[in-house]
Amino acid sequence: MMRTTNHEPRTTELILALDVDSFSKAKYFVDLLYPKVKIFKVGLQLFIARGKKIIRYIREKGGKVFLDLKFYDIPNTVANASKEVVRMGGIEMFTLHTQGGLEMMRRVKEAAREEALRLGIKAPLIIGVTLLTSEAQSSKITPLVISLTRAARTAGLDGVVASVKETRCLRQVFGGDLIIVTPGIRFAGGEKGDQKRIATPEEARKAGSNYIVIGRPILEAQGPLITARKIIRKIS
């Protein structure tokens, strides 16, 4: 077994990106993969298509929802949208762009906390997107991801989305408390699609990711359940 340093999370968990265009397709994957997969990411496409219905379905089944709408707007607008996320209920975590700035992130944190308190429910985790994994690797990426993560921590966010390429460094700088979510996960020799800063599931675990987000490599696999099992074995 791999040695675990203080900075590495005990486990890395798989999040399935439900990037499909209908309730029935999303339901098919939830039924097939739950409870092997426990967290399902609802992103822009599915949220616009059948958002609230699929969120309810995942919750009724016992799964957790990662709402990935990547908010990026003026502080007031994003804070109000975050209140609606809390009101929707049953959202485990949601995303906003750290490039929206410190004030925007602070206002979101405050609004989500106040709304959860008012309703007497648990506030969702707030995760800041740093730089998209579809951006190519360059020497400027890691310093920029570190500075965006520092702003996210200052604003009180729970974690960040970054690529595996920056994860080891983020762990060293920010320690074990920071939640690190890593998309851009591919198998060695697999299709990259539009992703550029990619890594394998094992590399993500070794670097210290708490969660890996995978869409197409599972959704387009011949056997999505077998593929998900294989991934979970590699990160457990």
Residues of this chain that interact with ligand C5P (CB under 6 A) are: 17, 19, 43, 68, 129, 132-133, 161, 183-184, 193, 195, 213-217
Q: State the minimum distance, in angstroms, from the CB of residue 90 to ligand C5P.
A: 20
Q: State the minimum distance, in angstroms, from the CB of residue 119 to ligand C5P.
A: 28
- For residues 121 and 223, which CB has a smaller minimum distance to ligand C5P in the complex? 223
Q: State the minimum distance, in angstroms, from the CB of residue 161 to ligand C5P.
A: 5
- For residues 1 and 136, which CB has a smaller minimum distance to ligand C5P in the complex? 136
- For residues 155 and 214, which CB has a smaller minimum distance to ligand C5P in the complex? 214
- For residues 79 and 213, which CB has a smaller minimum distance to ligand C5P in the complex? 213
- Closest by CA to 181, choosing from 133, 219, 233, 142, is 133
Q: Catalytic amino acids?
A: 70
Q: State the minimum distance, in angstroms, from the CB of residue 17 to ligand C5P.
A: 4
Q: Which residue is nearest to ligand C5P (CB)?
A: 215
